[in-house]
């Protein structure tokens, strides 16, 4: 059985960042990444692909070019976890043992939890920026929209990038408003299972103003249950106190954000939390597993109760690395993750609210500006600076500080 000092399962944003930071901190560590994909995508760019700003190819790199020097890449998937024996089974049936495991498999998109959706996607104006092969269809649908109801949905589970379902809505609305004839015949609906527009009050307030300015219809506590492509109807379960009712809204286009959960292989393993989601059950401050001390997790698959974003990994990775090294050294785990996450809330072409916040919902701005304001500068940060930081700093393990402005730098640990 092959043995690795540190085995990372998943070579996405989280796995690559953790591997790079570990090798920078301690080059002699033996690190392996178990990752089947040969392409890696900058998913935060997909909203802008669906809105015609980037091409999909601009968000892609060869996985091989991102594996840090000196790290062993095993091109397979994990098929089973046995944390009591410190082993992982791969898709080819091989067993790998480890001193320390990092689980970073990302999230699973549960399209089939919405009746009629899987077969309807990519037809009849039914689309989603959460599937890369549909991004061009999103853009085509928005451009060819001639009026009627345009629906944008948010499911009942935690999702990656909680702002994405409404960012594409504001961008689409900008396109609709370019034609007075289309705009006059259009009603935009934001249908969300949540009780409000955004979970963080400081950023919910400006978003309420954006929605009101655009005359967007909000429908809270609305969970999409079924798509009827032939009649172009969306069926929602609407929560009303203890009871619920069904509501059918006809559409000309609908952008669906599916329910999400941990991948099956994680959710059915001893690493998972009991209950919905099946996330890897880690301590919210240390990122260490609550039952298996030689297991850590970060990124979307972890149970860390922050907003699931690539930006959050910039806060998590230095904490995980510091604590993992302390664990190897037999020292106490003293680094603490404060829940930092960032969601650049695009509110239209050329403007964005840079929502950065911690576990307590406190704004944590990286710039010395009121973070709750829509700004052209934050659009440029989202479109130009953040992709550059991702490819050149974060994935390369340089981003130990998550603040951009010298002097405002605050220890994340």
Min dist. Cβ of residue 85 to ligand FAD (A) = 18
Tell me which residues in 20-39 interact with ligand FAD (CB under 6 A). Answer: 34-37
Smallest Cα–Cα separation from 295: which of 311, 279, 309? Answer: 279
Which one among 6, 7, 14, 19 touches ligand FAD, defined by CB under 6 A?
14
Q: Which of 53, 77, 182, 202 binds ligand FAD (CB under 6 A)?
A: 77
Choice from 20, 21, 59, 105 touching ligand FAD (CB under 6 A): 105
88-93-94-97 Cα dihedral, nearest 10 degrees: 10
Phi, psi of 37 (to 5 degrees): -75, 140
x/- letters, 280..299, toward ligand FAD (CB under 6 A): -------------------x
2 CA to centre of own chain: 32
Are 86 and 101 within 8 A, CB to CB? yes
Reduce the DSSP state of residue 321 to 3 states and report it.
helix
Q: How many beta carbons lie within 10 A of that of residue 312, not counting itself?
A: 27
Based on the residue annotation, tell me whether 342 is a catalytic residue of this protein: no
Contact (CB, 8 A) for 273 and 267: no
Q: What are the residues whose beta carbons fall under 8 Å from the beta carbon of 367, sequence distance 6 or more?
A: 354, 404, 405
Up-side HSE of residue 157: CA atoms within 13 Å toward CB? 23
Q: How far is the CB of 238 from ligand FAD (least distance, A)?
A: 26
Instruction: Decide: is 252 part of the binding site for ligand FAD (CB under 6 A).
Output: no
Task: Determine, following the binding rule CB under 6 A, whether residue 127 of this chain makes contact with ligand FAD.
Answer: no
- Dig out the tokens for 126 from the structure: 């039914």
Cα 404 versus chain centre, distance: 21
Closer CB to ligand FAD, residue 256 or residue 322?
256
258 sits near ligand FAD (criterion: CB under 6 A): no
199 touching ligand FAD, by CB under 6 A = no
Determine, following the binding rule CB under 6 A, whether residue 43 of this chain makes contact with ligand FAD: yes
Compute the least distance from the CB of residue 405 to ligand FAD, in Å. Answer: 19
In the region spanning residues 300 to 339, those forming contacts with ligand FAD, defined by CB under 6 A, are 300-301, 308-311, 313
Q: How far is the CB of 231 from ligand FAD (least distance, A)?
A: 28
Asked if 6 interacts with ligand FAD (CB under 6 A), we say: no
Task: Indicate if 110 belongs to the active site.
Answer: no
Which residue, judged by CB position, is nearest to ligand FAD in the bound state?
A: 12
Q: Inter-axis angle of helices 201-214 and 164-177, to 10 degrees?
A: 20
Specify whether the CB–CB gap between 353 and 375 falls below 8 A: yes
- Binding stretches for ligand FAD (CB under 6 A): 9-15, 34-37, 43-44, 46-47, 77-78, 104-106, 129-130, 160-161, 164, 263, 265, 299-301, 308-311, 313, 342-344
Q: Just list the catalytic residues.
A: 161, 343
């Amino acid at each position: 059985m092959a043995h690795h000092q540190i085995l990372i399962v998943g070579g996405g944003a989280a796995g690559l960042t953790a591997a790079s930071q570990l090798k920078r901190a301690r080059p002699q560590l033996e690190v392996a990444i178990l990752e089947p994909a040969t392409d890696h995508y900058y998913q935060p760019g997909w909203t802008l692909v669906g809105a015609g700003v980037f091409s999909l190819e601009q968000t892609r790199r060869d996985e091989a070019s991102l594996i840090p020097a000196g790290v062993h890449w095993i091109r397979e998937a994990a098929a089973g976890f046995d944390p009591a024996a410190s082993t992982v089974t791969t898709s080819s049936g091989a067993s790998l043992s480890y001193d320390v495991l990092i689980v970073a498999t990302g999230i699973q998109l549960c399209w089939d939890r919405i009746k009629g959706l899987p077969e309807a996607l990519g037809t009849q104006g039914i689309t989603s920026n959460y599937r890369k092969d549909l991004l061009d269809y999103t853009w085509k649908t928005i451009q060819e929209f001639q009026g009627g109801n345009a629906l944008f949905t948010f499911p009942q589970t935690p999702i990656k990038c909680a702002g994405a379902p409404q960012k594409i809505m504001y961008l689409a609305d900008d396109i609709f408003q370019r034609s007075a004839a289309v705009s006059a015949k259009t009603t935009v609906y934001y249908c969300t299972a949540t009780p409000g527009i955004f979970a963080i009050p400081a950023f919910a307030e400006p978003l309420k103003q954006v929605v009101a300015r655009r005359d967007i219809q909000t429908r809270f506590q609305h969970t999409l249950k079924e798509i009827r492509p032939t009649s172009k109807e969306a069926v929602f379960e609407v929560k009303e106190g203890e009871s619920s009712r069904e509501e059918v809204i006809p559409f000309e286009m609908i952008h669906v954000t599916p329910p999400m959960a941990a991948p099956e292989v994680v959710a059915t393993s001893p690493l998972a939390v009991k209950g919905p989601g099946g996330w890897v059950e880690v301590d919210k401050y240390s990122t260490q597993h609550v039952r298996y001390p030689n297991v850590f997790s970060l990124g979307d698959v972890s149970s860390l109760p922050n907003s699931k974003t690539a930006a959050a990994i910039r806060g998590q990775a230095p904490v995980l690395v510091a604590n993992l090294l302390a664990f190897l050294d037999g020292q106490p785990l003293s680094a603490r993750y404060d829940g930092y996450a960032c969601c650049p809330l695009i509110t239209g072409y050329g403007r964005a609210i840079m929502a950065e916040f911690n576990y307590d919902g406190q704004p944590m701005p990286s710039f010395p500006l009121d973070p709750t304001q829509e700004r052209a500068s934050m659009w440029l940060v989202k479109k130009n600076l953040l992709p550059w930081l991702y490819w050149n700093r974060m994935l390369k393990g340089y981003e130990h500080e998550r603040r951009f402005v010298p002097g405002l730098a605050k220890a994340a640990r």
